[in-house]
A and B are shown apart, each in its own frame.
Chain A
Amino acid sequence: EVQLVESGGGSVQPGGSLRLSCAASGFSFRDYWMHWFRQAPGKGLVWVSRIKFDGTYAEYADSVKGRFTISRDNAKNTLFLQMNSLRVEDTAVYYCAKDTYSSGEYWGQGTLVTVSS
């Protein structure tokens, strides 16, 4: 059974940083691209970033480019999202997902990031 468990969310002031983690199990993590998505309270889904299976290539939404960095540790079956220069508008539940053809095939339950002064 595919399982994705996010962690690392919390409250941070504007301009601060957070690092999210996503522990994966139930599939061959090193063989799949992985995504981060987010959803602000009461709002729709937004794609954040995705990373190639070997970690050598990544894509980002314009809204986070230059501030967020996606990475992975295939030895530990873990996906990361380093978030710097956080803004109030980054407040959201962040989900990691296993990729299939540019879609999120399996999703975690999410971790809440709140950016507020």
Chain B
Amino acid sequence: QSALTQPPSASGSPGQSVTISCTGTSSDVGRFNYVSWYQQFPGKAPKLIIHEVNKRPSGVPDRFSGSKSGNTASLTVSGLQAEDDGGDYYCSSYTATNQVIFGGGTRLTVL
């Protein structure tokens, strides 16, 4: 099962928006609306920030939003803040073979 494709890095200035892509296939991202996004800081456990493509768990700021078009999902972080800096962002998707696959992760830098 191949991993989802994410850019290794993304960056933006405080207050700006940044979008991270996550490309899969018609057997995972394109087939199911079970795309999730996680935020992880060094030495910490991951935190779920988006599930089912565009749903935010309670307590996650609305600066984080998700979307999907075809085989590609996207995470947009609006109004970048210093606290977003240095986090790794991972996408995941359920697959047609009843597994969950992840992207390789994207390191976010707030300039």
Contacts and interface: CB of A to CB of B under 8 A. Distances in A.
- Chain A contact surface mostly: strand
Contact of B100 (A44, A50, A95, A109): A50
Nearest to A62: B1
A86 B32 CA distance: 32
Interface in B95-109: 97-105
Contacts of B3: 44
Nearest to A47: B100
Given A47-B100, A47-B101, A102 B45 contact: no
A45 B88 CA distance: 10
Interface in B16-53: 32, 34, 36, 38, 40, 45-48, 51-52
B57 interface: yes
B6 to A, nearest CB: 9
Interface residues of B, number: 28
Most buried by A among B88, B98, B104: B98
A104 interface: yes
A12 B3 CA distance: 28
A45 B45 contact: no
Interface of B: 1, 3, 32, 34, 36, 38, 40, 45-48, 51-52, 55, 57, 88, 90, 92, 94, 97-105
7 contacts: A45-B46, A59-B98, A100-B51, A101-B36, A101-B52, A102-B36, A103-B34
